């Protein structure tokens, strides 16, 4: 009886280890680095200095598969405090990586950095990330693309081609000045000067 029980436990353990190793083989760790800097951007014949990520507006996409671990180092090179929120990502077991300033973390101060570390669990699709302090989110944002696990299909026919489209807004004035004026007047902020598609004003 003891030998049979031992054999069953050994078999169950072996199966568990095989399944665990199979899972680990198909999930990887993806590393990103976000450098938050001021840069001149010109739209609608207006050039202004604004806060963007890695010299891009919108910022770079975060691409991962379901089950992947995502590690993103954010380095703040501007005078403003900053945090990044991963909008729609279920922070299961990693609430400190959610990003709302003064709620799940202290803001990242000038010349400081913070490492966001989370695992994509039980979801796929296209989400977005954005700054989560003041109106910096107007210029600091980008896409999150979560693909199915390898060898797993989409819950719909696989597309022949994929193109990421991010809708946004453009203000000729500094967005911090726009929100400051709104707070002083008690009214809503001025409407944007244009809607944007992947950072460019529409026709």
Q: Is residue 33 part of a domain?
A: yes
Does residue 170 sit within a domain?
Answer: no
In the chain, the number of structural domains is: 1
CATH, residue 111: 2.60.40.420
Tokens of 141: 């944002």
pLDDT tier at 130, thresholds 50, 70, 90: very high
CA distances from 199 to 52, 66, 163, 168 (A): 11, 27, 14, 7
Full residue range of the structural domain in which residue 49 is found: 23-151
CA distance 105 to 177: 26
Digit-coded pLDDT (tens) for 160-189 = 888 999 999 999 988 888 888 888 888 777
> How far is the C-alpha of 44 from the C-alpha of 88, rounded, in Å?
32
Q: Specify if 194 maps to a domain.
A: no
User: Tokens 């991010």 label which residue?
Assistant: 166
- pLDDT for res 188: 73
Sheet containing strand 69-76, edge to edge, reads 46-53, 29-43, 69-76, 113-119
pLDDT(61) > 60: yes
pLDDT in tens, 95-123: 999 999 999 999 999 999 999 999 999 99
pTM of the shown model: 0.82
Token pair, residue 18, equals 């095989």
Q: Is residue 113 part of a domain?
A: yes
Residue 52 belongs to some domain of the structure: yes
Is-contact 141 166, C-beta < 8 A? yes
In a domain, 163, yes or no: no
User: Residue 75: inside a domain, yes or no?
Assistant: yes
């Amino acid at each position: 009886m003891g030998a049979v029980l031992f054999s069953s436990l050994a078999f169950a353990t072996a199966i568990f280890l095989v399944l665990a190793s199979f899972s680990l083989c198909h999930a990887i760790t993806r590393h990103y680095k976000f450098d938050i800097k001021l840069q001149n951007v010109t739209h609608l014949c207006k050039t202004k200095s604004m806060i963007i990520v890695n010299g891009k507006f919108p910022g770079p996409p975060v691409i991962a598969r379901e089950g992947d671990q995502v590690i993103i180092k954010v380095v703040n090179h501007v005078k403003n405090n900053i945090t990044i929120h991963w909008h729609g990502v279920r922070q299961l077991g990693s609430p400190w990586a959610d990003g709302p300033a003064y709620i799940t973390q202290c803001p990242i101060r000038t010349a400081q950095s913070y490492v966001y570390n989370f695992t994509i669990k039980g979801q796929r699709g296209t989400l977005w990330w954005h700054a989560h302090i003041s109106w910096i989110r107007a210029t600091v944002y980008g896409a999150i693309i979560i693909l199915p696990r390898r060898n797993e299909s989409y819950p719909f026919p696989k597309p022949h081609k994929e193109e990421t489209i991010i809708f946004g807004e453009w203000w000729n004035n500094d967005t911090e000045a726009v929100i400051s004026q709104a707070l002083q007047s008690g009214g809503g902020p001025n409407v944007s000067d244009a809607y944007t598609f992947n950072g460019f004003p529409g026709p």
